[in-house]
Structure 1
Amino acid sequence: MAPSRRGQRAATGLAVLLLLYAISACSLLPAARAQATAFTSIRNGSEFSTFSFPSFGNSLRQLPGNLTVLGNATVNGNALQITPDTRNDPEKFLINQTGRVMYPRAYVLWASNASNTSADGRRVASFSTVFKVNLFRATPSVKGEGFAFLIASDGGAPPPPGSHGGYLGLTNASTDGSAANGFAAVELDTVKQSYDPDDNHVGLDVNGVRSKVAASLTPFGIDLATNNTNDDGSHMVWIEYNGTARHVWVYMAKNGSRPGTPVLDAPLDLSKVLLGKTAYFGFSASTGVLYQLNCLHSWDMTVELLPDGSSPGKQPLSGWKLGLAIGVPCAFALALGLFAGLYIKKRRGRIGDDSSSIVRSTINFASIPGVPKEFDYKELRKGTGNFDEKMKLGQGGYGVVYRATVVGEHGQSMEVAVKQFSGANTKGQEDFLAELSIINLLRHRNLVKLLGWCHQDGVLLLVYDFMPNGSLDRLLFGGGPEAPVLTWGHRYNIVAGVASALNYLHHEYDQRVIHRDIKPSNIMLDAAFNARLGDFGLARALETDKTSYTDKLGVPGTLGYIAPECFHTGRATRESDVFGFGAVILEIVSGRRISCSNAAGCSQLLEGVWQLHGAGGGRILEAVDRRLAPGEFDEGDAERLLLLGLACSHPNPGERPRARAIVQILARSAPPPDVPASKPAFMWPALPVVLGDDDGEMPVSGTSTALTSSSSYYASSAGWTTQNYLLTREHDVTDRDMPTA
């Protein structure tokens, strides 16, 4: 056996050397993609290309192959400055400026020789993009002119002469509207021209700046280049184009997740706009006599690759001699490295069937402790009726959940819930792995049970126990007037179940786990209406010496359930989990939402319960769901829950009860907490968090100047509009991230 082992070690060593040689040989090539993450994936039989710029480092200026920077555009301050970024000498640097930044890869956006063509014999590619744009007034009194996402036939053409002002760097007076321009753009316009609806609108431009379709952003609560000193002018923009329907949708939000309603939707046939079959993506902006700062902070894009027999988007190296001198050795080395890697993989056993996938080639699923069963993709596809819309249970920020029937361990049929992540892009991989790596180790009766996973053809899936009674959100808020009302006994048990799960995560599991997204849509109900806490896509397991987790992207969660201190620290803690739980308690007892995104008639539930408590005389019981008649609920337990909800919602994290104490209060072995008669003002830095001796931790406190806020904290701009904190999962109130019935 010894010679065989020596042979294996020798082969492995040779393979490693060959891989290192491949890497070193290819490192001689220009580092044209050093700043961007790029890969391809397969979805529903189509190939997609994705690139991602989480930020724009200043080194991009030395890497022209990464982006094409044209006109007055620059890279500065980890952002793309589409027009100059300065407040000095505006007459010289800011007036009548134009700029473009283009991604240098050309994509085939329509093909006439592809399969499954439409009636006109053309197949048009689909794509989606999301970017964070900042439109900022250089002076408080003026703004102008505008910013546009651009699809151009020519990726290297600078802004035309005279394209400043209302032409947005796209056209000029002599060419505006000409079909020879060959572009389409989505404009964010901040100056009203005679053909514009107002100075705050979005429009679809085709070969000219007189928009084919335009819509004011004011009804959506969006103010471009605002003069609000508490607003930095940043917005998230999502653009989705369906090549089959030949239609485009645009969504916008303030640093949150994509809303359900588009700000603009319009027909767009790119095959009739572009001058050829290929096009480039990028951005254009301008200033005029009026000016503003137009910059881009991040950009992610996914484009369908059409199987037209060509290799779309491959950029030639700078000269055929460089290709021969470097490309051939590199290709040879990569071939050897690939052969060696396959040899190693074969010797060590396969991880799975999808060997071409980026995820599978970079993630060793076997290394995840306690990883559950791997399901066959064909079985899940069959069980969901090919992911039929009729089998959909819900949809949230991270994916869609389907009901499915699969074969159980003993050959019998069983119902499961299948969570399909939004895509095999970088963020989708992170969400998938976060949930898989945490929840598969957790074992508690009040947590949704993970049954298995699947990754094949670029599709990421997690399989859970099916919850017959769906989500708490649906039972509390989703039914009509004739829907059955959740009984008081079920409500109390649900609160107790979630508290037990929270105590397990915070105190009983080997590691301290912070959920970070506790809300009714993430609480499932089994056949007996027992609560099961789910959706661990945002959860994090802390190291033994840590008490908080800081997300590099900012503050995750959903408005109304995010603790106020998180907007100042960017950190998630056990105390911030308890705050979200307090909001859930008040919603369960009252049958009303904690927040309605400022919709008409939206009640401020937390403020209302606190006022009823301060009024005394048992008036706090007026907060109980009016659908529960007197005698249908225990008044003592109702007051216990309402006081507990207020205590958990205390603005100062140090005053909130721990999960252990909450469990005792709900078990009626401890009295309800003492709650002030009126809601205390939010203060920052907060008072120290007093920790028990069993925690082995020191009190946590802040050091900055105190900041007080009125009881209408959430209505103020001092919270969620703060520039440094990105709300990565502000869901619509109808979101369903986990299985629902």
Structure 2
Amino acid sequence: MGRTLAPLPASPTFLSLLLLLLFLPLICQLQPVEALGFQFNTFDPSSNQSTLSVIPPALISNNALQITPDSANVNLNLKNQSGRIFYKQSFKLWDGPPEAPTKLASFNASFVINIFPITSTPGEGLAFIVAPDQNLPAASFGGYLGLTNATSNGNASNHLLAVEFDTFKQDYDPDANHIGLDINSVRSNQTVSLADHGFDLAPNRAIYFHVWIEYDGGRKLLEVYMINENGSTPTKPKPAFPIMTASLDTSKVVTQNSYFGFAASTGDNTELNCVLGWNMTVEELPKGTPAGLVIGLAVGIPAAALALAGAAFLGVWLWRRRVAASDPNILGTLKSLPGTPREFKFKDLKRATGNFDERNKLGQGGFGVVYKGVLAAENGQVAVKKFSRDELKSKDDFLAELTIINRLRHRHLVPLLGWCHQNGMLLLVYDFMPNGSLDGHIFCGPEKQTLGWSHRYKIVSGVASALHYLHDEYDQKVLHRDLKASNIMLDSNFNARLGDFGLARAIDNEKTSYAELEGVPGTVGYIAPECLHTGKATRESDIFGFGAVILEVVCGQRPWTKGGYSGFQFLVDWVWSLHRDGRILEAVDERLGGDYEVEEARRLLLLGLACSHPIAAERPNTPAIVQILSGSVDVPRVPPFKPAFVWPSVSLLTEDGDTTDVTPMTSSSRFGSGWTPRFVSKESDSRYNNSSPPV
């Protein structure tokens, strides 16, 4: 008995899929590869000869590229030498006619260098180069760094681009320890002295620097990042901020097809110029007419078939998009938002962040990871937050943050640009803050210059303005609930932008608090003591967090540490003890070297203590804080001894967020007329016995 075949379904989705399968080979041929590149974690002369061009006297030895001779070989002369090593394959770096290029290729280089002086004074330097060929110019030793010579230096026909790491001062150099951008000449177009950043390229010991050189063809922007590694193997992440930034149109400098590599030189003074590890990624540009199109025309595929294939591809794309965005909870919430925020395409964000590459990671918190991205079509940088908790919690986190931040508009808040919910990912897109977070500047190591006083005062004032907007100016009360230095971002002019609204909640105007059902939100050192009892966040608890921020900005110290501050675990206790002894200015960050406004510092320290008052009702509100920072109102009197935390306090919150009067255990006014709290002696207060404050 024969079998009857069921008819094929005729739904648009099925037809689209069928057409896509029929024309998939053609479509695949039309899709260019997005990037080319290579990776060398180490170097070996036997295995790398096929991929690297080594121009003597450069050589590969000791698992490294020795751009100038290696002293391990006693027969080599180290003086007045120059060398080059290139990757053998050239790369297409711009597209279109020379007079009007249509696209510039972006590229990223990452490598580790070690420059070791042989003589007491090092010389001359090492450079990362982009060159039209693999030749080494004659007599390019000494100050020419293996780049040019006396005849060719400065010629536009060199088509040479280099980032130099210079260890010897010529007449045209700023010093003997700098990086520079070289275009066709060793006279740098732009230099950065490294001593200001705590870097010494060639100390008399083995030291390794991890370098990132990133070029954005869309923005025509070159950025150089550096960090001091602990060893020859890179372990530290890329710094948040470049050490050098330069506008650059590569089509005006390099040839269309160029080579990447390294050059170096020595003079009468000598050094070893070593490269240990090298990664490259180069955006691939189209090479003439796409091969797939040529094949298609050659076999006579009619235009109608191509149109059908395109329609099939579009149909599948739309189908996948509908499936990806089918969550009724998220869609319903988005539709209910006034002024629905912009939806970004996942493929654009994926490309912008390098497929969420770890090297583009800006930070990580309890709710997700933030990546730096570059949207080529819009010529702009963004910060993309990817929610990373389990699926249910991530949706809650995503919707909570989106609904809060969507309507907020203030010059001291990080602007939300839009969202994306595709491929199982929940993403929020924010404006990129080029100077990163405040903690990266306050708690920085010696390799980075700390913030000056004027910037610090401006930042505190900006955060106060943002908090005043959230508490008193927006049509709903918004509690941030996680005020801390790492959540305060800095724009290009070091203006404060309050960000990370993952814990923020809006409350009705007739309410005073938000109850956290899952526990106490926030970070140790920033959580108000009453929150540990009530599990509720209030405007007063936000003020407490702001007080911690003030103190860490002025003191350059975190609000809590296991090591302690002169016997105190909490920064506020140490500052209060200095205030008691009349020595409060000793709390100012020593790295400022006394370069600060004394009265402003005193005002901030006292305001920080006032905001950190253990009794919530005694803390100033945001209108008063803004007035204090502007200098129009004096700081309230701060008692010499930190008052003990007592519970219950005034204005105890009921379950629905209303207040009920409770006989206070301290006699005080709300603000401005001085405090008369119940004091405790040093002997009876456990804070003065090297223990945590009572709660």
With the length of structure 2 as denominator, give the TM-score of the two structures. 0.48
Specify the structure having the higher radius of gyration (Cα).
2
Point out which structure has higher relative CO (alpha carbons under 8 A, 6+ apart). Answer: 1
